[in-house]
Homo-oligomer: A and B are copies of this chain.
């Protein structure tokens, strides 16, 4: 069975290292093969193709994000939980901007489970606001949009001015919270 060094998981590990160090565009099979000390075609023994590898990477990132989110919410509720969730999300994206950019948003069966867990955590974070059915769905969508939008823009370096990003993000959290508190009327 040869060196046994490689496996689908190991390939994803290397892929994440490539992404972190060289950016999502550098995620190429030959870059990974180089790091693995293996010829490029050998990777096809572990991964169907580049597209599938991207999905696997995305799934891994989603899993990490789920872990972060779940820790953030743990033992908190209400505004506190929501703020912790948003802060955790943002800090993950800021710590690993390339990794975050490798997140695929289009729903894929392979990442459906992780995505569902994430939605579950968001729902839990929103529990204190007493949202029922559709209202909860709308709230989760907005929360996701806010967190993702901020994370993407920050990761891309789109916020140029000198103002403190922590403060901007606190305002975003305030918007979500105050919007949820007064959601009756809209």
- Please indicate the chain B residues that have their CB under 8 angstroms from the CB of A167 in the complex: 134, 138
A182 to chain B minimum Cβ distance, whole angstroms, is 5
A156–B141 alpha-carbon span in the complex (Å): 13
Tell yes or no: A78 within 8 A of B by CB.
no
A contact residues vs B (CB 8 Å cutoff):
104-107, 134, 137-139, 141-142, 144-150, 152-153, 156-161, 163, 165, 167-168, 170-172, 174-183, 185-186
**Are B160 and A107 touching (Cβ within 8 A)?**
yes
Grouping DSSP codes into helix (H, G, I), strand (E, B) and loop, the A interface class, with mixed when no group exceeds half, is: helix
**Contact A174-B170, Cβ < 8 Å, known A149-B150, A152-B148, A157-B107:** no
* Contact pick for A106, options B134, B137, B156, CB 8 Å: B156
A85–B185 alpha-carbon span in the complex (Å): 20
- Please indicate the chain B residues that have their CB under 8 angstroms from the CB of A142 in the complex: 146, 150, 168, 171-172, 175
- Apart from the given pairs A106-B156, A175-B180, 4 other A-B contacts in the complex at a CB distance below 8 Å: A134-B163, A142-B146, A145-B146, A148-B153
Number of this chain's copies in the assembly equals: 2
Task: Report the nearest B residue to A185, measured CB to CB.
Answer: B174
20 A–B contact pairs at CB < 8 A? A105-B156, A106-B156, A107-B157, A134-B163, A137-B168, A141-B150, A141-B153, A141-B159, A142-B146, A145-B146, A145-B149, A145-B153, A145-B172, A146-B149, A149-B152, A170-B186, A171-B179, A174-B182, A175-B178, A179-B179
A149–B107 alpha-carbon span in the complex (Å): 16
**Are A144 and B149 touching (Cβ within 8 A)?**
yes
A32–B106 alpha-carbon span in the complex (Å): 26
**Are B174 and A186 touching (Cβ within 8 A)?**
yes
